[in-house]
Amino acid sequence: ITLGGLGAPTVADSEGGFEWVITNIRNPYANDGDAAGSIVVNLKNSADAVLDTHTLTAMTITQNDLTFFNSSVSLSPNSAGVPADVKLSFGTFGYVPPGGYFFVTFPDGFVVVN
């Protein structure tokens, strides 16, 4: 990320420090339990030469719930004792890692025919 293109920082003090608020950055590690790794900050001059480099250790991200939204379940037909199609719909705010999956458990008495 090149902060030079983000405009003025929210804090700019050569002694106190500099701060930018960067929005809409997707965190690929949420709900994965992994450390977020490190963030590298380079100070460059106008000729793009690196003057200084500093590595910031990012926080460890712990698992949290997926925070479901727009969830619904529907059966068609909605009759007892006959095979039906079940439609599950939901969205999540959390991250599902590569290879991750949802495991659906039906209440007692439901039988999956095939």
Q: What is the pLDDT of residues 38-62, one digit of tens each?
A: 667 777 778 888 888 877 665 554 4
Q: Is residue 28 part of a domain?
A: yes
Number of domains in the chain: 1
Domain that holds residue 45: 3-57
Q: Is residue 34 part of a domain?
A: yes
Residue 59 to residues 31, 33, 64, 67, 98, Cα–Cα distance (Å)? 14, 11, 15, 21, 21
Mean pLDDT of 76-88: 78
pTM above 0.75, yes or no: no
Q: Is residue 31 part of a domain?
A: yes
Residue 22 to residues 25, 35, 44, 64, Cα–Cα distance (Å)? 7, 20, 19, 23
Which residues on neighbouring strands pair with residue 57, listed in sequence order?
38
Q: Is residue 46 part of a domain?
A: yes
